[in-house]
């Protein structure tokens, strides 16, 4: 048990949701709901009065919505925030905007006429609040370093895995890379529907053509392929070409899509010619797969603790000796390019 309970402020315009969240969170001895607000104005007062460790924040509220409140909060008083969102494709863009502004994670909003559903997810709610209390928020964004890799360098397949905090981390890494020199395959823990919106956003904000994989796409330089929510993705070789393969299956490390599934296929199908990066996230998904990739002679990196929202997955990889380099987020692109340049010069 923690010495001091995690102080949580619940912000939601629904009295039923406020009551349910309070009941669930107070059921854990390490958590104490210190206040509940029905709108942004009340929430602002309670933040100043109570100094909560974590805030659960409804996306949709009257007058001042959750996104506007979050934007002001992260500038004035950065605090770990978990968004309470309807996990539908129509709400995915709003939720991704919240993550961009600094929210740590999101939780499905319970359906009021099916209250039992909320209690089935009580462990998820509690675990995410505990994770948020340990997370890092409020980091200033450093200028993106965009290294240049001469066209003569060999193109490489880069595999990326991430979870909590990963949407912004993946966006940052892709923005750092010279797209023409890399073919990227990525797994981010997200539900179905959200990955479509996330891929569209990455396609707009980076130089890569970003696709939510459907299976059967030939993996080409300049393209980045994202595992779809709710399904695993792996790479398969057909002759000299690599293709995406999307499939259903059991969860691995508690996730579908799983980073380990993608990384295992990279180890077996690409081997020493691959590059792999494991970014911020809770748990250990990807650590075993990254170890397999490194054992082939491929280059592997992990995001460093200081730049992670949650230093879980990278830590697990470091502890397995699966990582050749531990790198701040804003330097991962240049690190990968420098590695390829050095390898090319030595050959």
Q: Is 166 helix (H, G, I), strand (E, B) or coil?
A: helix
| DSSP strand pairing (232-238 vs 241-247) | antiparallel
Let me know if 12 is a catalytic residue: no
Q: Is 285 a catalytic residue?
A: yes
Residue 280 and residue 76: Cα distance in Å, rounded? 25
Q: Is 163 a catalytic residue?
A: yes
Instruction: Give CA–CA dist 58/60, Å, rounded.
Output: 6
Q: Which of 189, 232, 260, 307 is catalytic?
A: 189
Q: 285, 291, 304, 307: which is the annotated catalytic residue?
A: 285
Strands (E), 89-149: 105-108
242 strand-pairing partners: 237
Indicate which residue of 135, 163, 258, 265 is catalytic: 163
The secondary structure element, H or E, covering residue 311 is: none
- Summary count for the chain: helices (H), strands (E): 12, 14
Q: Two tokens at 6?
A: 């995690």
Instruction: Say how far apart CA 293 and CA 323 lie, in whole Å.
Output: 10
Rounded Cα distance, 173 and 338, in Å: 14
Beta strands in the chain (DSSP E): 6-11, 31-37, 54-58, 81-85, 105-108, 156-162, 182-188, 209-212, 223-226, 232-238, 241-247, 274-278, 299-303, 325-327
Active site residues: 163, 189, 285
């Amino acid at each position: 048990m923690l010495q001091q309970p995690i102080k949580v402020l619940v912000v939601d315009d629904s009295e039923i949701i406020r009551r349910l969240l309070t009941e669930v969170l107070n059921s854990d001895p390490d958590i104490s709901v210190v206040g509940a607000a029905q709108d942004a104005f009340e929430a602002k007062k309670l933040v100043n009065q109570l100094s909560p460790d974590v805030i659960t924040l409804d996306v949709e509220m009257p007058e001042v919505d959750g996104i506007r409140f979050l934007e002001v909060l992260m500038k004035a008083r950065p605090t770990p925030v978990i968004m309470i969102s309807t996990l539908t494709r129509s709400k995915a863009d709003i939720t991704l905007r919240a993550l961009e502004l600094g929210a740590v994670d999101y939780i499905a909003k319970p359906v009021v006429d099916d209250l039992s559903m909320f209690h089935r997810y009580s462990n998820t709610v509690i675990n995410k609040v505990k994770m948020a209390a340990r997370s890092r928020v409020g980091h200033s964004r450093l200028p993106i370093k965009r290294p240049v890799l001469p066209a003569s360098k060999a193109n490489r397949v880069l595999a990326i895995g991430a979870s909590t905090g990963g949407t912004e981390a993946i966006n940052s890494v892709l923005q750092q890379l010279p797209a023409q020199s890399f073919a990227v395959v990525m797994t981010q823990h997200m539900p179905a529907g959200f990955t479509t919106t996330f891929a569209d956003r990455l396609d707009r904000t980076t130089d890569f053509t970003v696709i939510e994989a459907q299976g059967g796409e030939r993996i080409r330089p300049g393209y980045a392929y994202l595992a779809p929510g709710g399904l695993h993705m792996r790479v398969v070789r057909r002759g000299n070409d690599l293709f995406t393969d999307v499939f259903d299956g059991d969860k691995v490390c508690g996730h579908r899509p799983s980073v380990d599934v993608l990384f295992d296929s990279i180890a077996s199908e690409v081997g020493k010619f691959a590059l792999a990066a494991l970014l911020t996230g809770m748990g250990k998904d990807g650590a075993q797969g990254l170890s397999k990739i490194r054992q082939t002679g491929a280059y592997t990196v992990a995001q460093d603790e200081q730049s992670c929202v949650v230093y879980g997955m990278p830590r697990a990889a470091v502890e397995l000796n699966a990582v050749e380099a531990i790198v701040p987020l804003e330097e991962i692109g240049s690190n990968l390019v420098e590695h390829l340049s050095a390898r090319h010069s030595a050959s």
